[in-house]
Structure 1
C-alpha cells in the first residue's frame, strides 16, 4: 500500500510538472527571443537616427563618427546613396543571427546583426531553473508521499493489532486517534467493541464467582439439615419435618441460581414490584441459623416491627440476610440481632453483632469485591449489595463498631398506612 501511494502521488506530480513546465519553457524561450530581437530593432532605429542627423548637417557618414550608436557585440552596415558601404563592428558567425533593417527618407539603409549566443545562454539558464524547480517539486512530492504513507499505514497497522488483541482475548481499549475521520471512526468502533467484550467477560467471570459463592451458603444449610435428619432418624415426625425443611432449602437454592442468571441478563434495573411478608423471611433465617449459633455458644434474636409487608423478592431478601448472618457468624462475636424498623417510605432490616467490628481502614470498602479484613473471599457482601440493588433495595454499613449492616427495602402503601397501628417486640431463638 505504501508503494502504491508513493507511485500515485509521484505520478500526479510528474503530470503536473509536464503540463505546466513545458508550456512555460516554450513561452519563456519565445519571450527571451523577442526581447533580444527588440534590442536589435532598437539599435537599428537609433543608428538610423544618427545617420540622418549626419546627413542633415552635411557631415560625412563614417564608422568612426557614429560607431558609438551600436551596442557592443553588434555588427552594422550603413548604405547611403552615392557613398561607399560603411560597416561597424565584426560580423558575427553562426547559423542563427538576429537581424534588423531600417530605411531612411533619403534612401539610406541601416542593417544591424547580432549573434544568438546571449539568447541561447538565457534560454539555457531558464531551462536549468525550470529543471531545478521541477526536481524540487518531485523531491517534495516524494517526501510528502512517504509522510502521508506512514501517516495512513501506521494507523492501519495499529488497528490490525487492536483487532488481533481482541481476537486473542485482550479486550482493553487503546483509545488512540489518528486525525483521519474514517480511521478514527474504525478506532472508535473497535474500542466500543472492546468495552462490550470486556463487560461480557467480566459478567461471565462474576457469574461464575457469584454462583460459586452464593451456592455455598444454601448448600451449607442443606448439609446441616441433612445431618440433623441422620441424627434424628428414630423420630419419624421429626424426620418428616426436617425433610420438608431440606426441600425448602433445595427450592431456595434453585431460586438463588435462577436469580443470579436473571441478574446477569437483566440490564433494565430492578424488577421487584410485589409485596411479601418480611416476618416469614426473617423467621426462616432464624430457623436456619439459630442451631448453628447455639452450637458456638451464641444467640440469634429479633427485635422491632412485625407484620411488615415489603416490596421485593423473598428469595433475594433471604439470600442477603443469610449473607449478613453468615458474616456475623464467621467474623463477629456475641449475640446476633436482627432488627426491623421503619425509615420513611422504607423498612430497614439491621443485622448487628457484638464482635470487634469492621476495621476503620475498610469502612464501606467491605462491599468491594476481593476486599476482606478476615482472609475471606471478599465476594459475599459485594454480591449481597448487588442482589439488594437488583431487587430495588440497598445495603449499607451503618456502624463500624458495633458492626451494623442495614438492608433498606421499599414498603407497600398499605403497610405504610398501617404502621402506626403496630408495635414492636422482641424474640429470642
Structure 2
C-alpha cells in the first residue's frame, strides 16, 4: 500500500508540474524576449529624441558618450544631408544572432539599436532553470508528503490488523488506540466495541460454567441422599420404593435445572410465572433436605399460613428454597424454620435458623457474586436472588443475626407484572 501511495502521488505531482511548468516556461520565455524588444524600442525612441535635440542645438553627436550611456548596444544613426551623415557606436553582433529596433523622424533622422540575442537567451535559460528547480523541489515535497501520509495511513492499519489478530486469538481487551483519522478511528471504535462484546461473552461462558457446577451440585446432593436412604433401607421394600420414587424426582429436578441453566446461558429465559401451590413446593423441599438435617442433628419445620398460592415457577422457587436450606445447613445452626405469610402486596416465605448469623461487614455484600462467609463458592445466594427476580419476586436478607432470608412473591391477582425478564447472570 505504501508503494502504491508513493507511486500515485508521484504521478499526480509529475502531471501537475508538467501542466503548470511547461506553459509557465513558455510564458516566461516570451515575456523576457518581449521585455528585451520593448527595452530596445524605448532606447531607439529616446536616442532619436536626443539626436533631434542635438541638431536643433547645432551640436555634434559624441560617440564615446553614447557608448557609455548605451552599453552593450550597437547603434547606427543616419542623418539626411549632402552627403548623408552616419554615426556608428559599438560592436555589431553576429549576423542572425541579434535583436534590432529602429526609429526615424520626418526630418530624415534614422536610428537603429541592436543587441546580442545571446544575452537574452541566457536570461531565458536562467529563468527556465529556476522553474525546473522549483518543479524538482515541488516533486521532492510531494514525495516527502506521500511518505509521511503513507506512514500515517499504513502504520495505523498495521496496528488495527494486530488488534484484530489479538481478538481472533482470544485477547479481548479494548486497545483504546486513536489515530486522528476519522475513518480509522471509526474502525478502532468498532473493534473496541467488538472486544467488549467478546469479553462479555467469554465472561458469561465462564459464569455459566461456574453457575452450572453450583446449581447441579444441589440436586446431585439430594439424589445422593436418596440413594443412601435406599441402601440403608434395603431390607424394607416399602421404604426402598419411596426412596426410589424420591430419587426419580431428584433426577427430574436435575434435568429441569440443566434446562434452565442452558436457557439462562442463551439469555432467553422467559418468566413463565403461573399460579403455584406454595405448600407443595415447600413440602417437597423439606422432604428432600430433612435427611441431611437429621444427620447433622438438626431439624426443618414449616410454620405460618397454609394454603397460599403465588405467581412463580415451580422449578425456580424450588431452587431458591433449596439454596436457602443448603446455605443454612452449611453456615447456620440449630433448627430451621420456614414460615409462610401473606399481605396485599406479596406472599412471603421466610427461612431462618438459630446459628451465629452473618457478620456486619459481610451482610451488605451477601448477595454479591463470589462473596462467601465460609468455604462456599459465594454463588448460591446470588443465583437464588436472580431466580427470584426472574419470576417477578425478590430475595432479601431480613435479619443478619441469627440469619433470616425472605422470598417475596407476587400474589395471584398481580397478573400485570407477568413479563419477560432475563435469567440469572
* TM-score interval, smaller chain: 0.7 to 0.9
1:95 deviates by 5.7
1:414 deviates by 8.0
CA pair 166-67 structure 1, distance change in 2 beyond 3 A: closer
SS in 1 for 2:333: coil
CA deviation digits over 1:329-374, x for unaligned, max 9?
A: 1112223232334465332323223333333333443333332231
CA deviation digits over 1:109-129, x for unaligned, max 9?
A: 111122345434432332233
SS in 2 for 1:367: coil
Distance in 1 (CA, whole Å) between partners of 2:137 and 2:304 is: 92
1:108 is the counterpart of 2:133:
no
Partner of 2:214: 213
CA pair 235-17 structure 1, distance change in 2 beyond 3 A: same
Give the gaps of 5 or more residues in structure 1: 416-429
CA pair 249-94 structure 1, distance change in 2 beyond 3 A: farther
CA pair 73-379 structure 1, distance change in 2 beyond 3 A: same
CA pair 65-155 structure 1, distance change in 2 beyond 3 A: closer
> Is the contact between residue 97 and residue 118 of structure 2 (CA under 8 Å) also seen in structure 1?
no
Distance in 2 (CA, whole Å) between partners of 1:305 and 1:291 is: 25
CA pair 374-89 structure 1, distance change in 2 beyond 3 A: same
Partner of 1:299: 299
> Is the contact between residue 62 and residue 86 of structure 1 (CA under 8 Å) also seen in structure 2?
no
Partner of 1:309: 309
1:327 deviates by 1.0
CA pair 410-95 structure 1, distance change in 2 beyond 3 A: farther
1:133 is the counterpart of 2:126:
no
SS in 2 for 1:396: strand
SS in 1 for 2:366: helix
Partner of 2:75: 76
Partner of 2:333: 333
> Is the contact between residue 225 and residue 291 of structure 2 (CA under 8 Å) also seen in structure 1?
no
CA deviation digits over 1:186-232, x for unaligned, max 9?
A: 44444444444334333333332222211111111111122122222
Larger displacement relative to structure 2 (40-49 or 87-96):
87-96
TM-score by length of 2: 0.88
Aligned 1:153-172 pairs, distance under 5 A: 153-172=154-173
CA pair 223-133 structure 1, distance change in 2 beyond 3 A: same
TM-score by length of 1: 0.87
1:180 deviates by 4.3
> Is the contact between residue 370 and residue 377 of structure 2 (CA under 8 Å) also seen in structure 1?
yes
What do you get for the CA RMSD once the two structures are aligned? 2.6
Distance in 2 (CA, whole Å) between partners of 1:348 and 1:137 is: 85
Aligned 1:13-412 pairs, distance under 5 A: 13-63=13-63, 70-82=69-81, 83-92=84-93, 96-116=97-117, 118-267=119-268, 270-342=270-342, 345-412=345-412
Give the gaps of 5 or more residues in structure 2: 416-425
CA deviation digits over 1:270-326, x for unaligned, max 9?
A: 422311011211122222223322332333233433322111111111111111111
Provide the aligned length of Structure 1 versus Structure 2. Answer: 413
Distance in 2 (CA, whole Å) between partners of 1:100 and 1:21 is: 31
Distance in 2 (CA, whole Å) between partners of 1:66 and 1:151 is: 66
Partner of 1:427: none
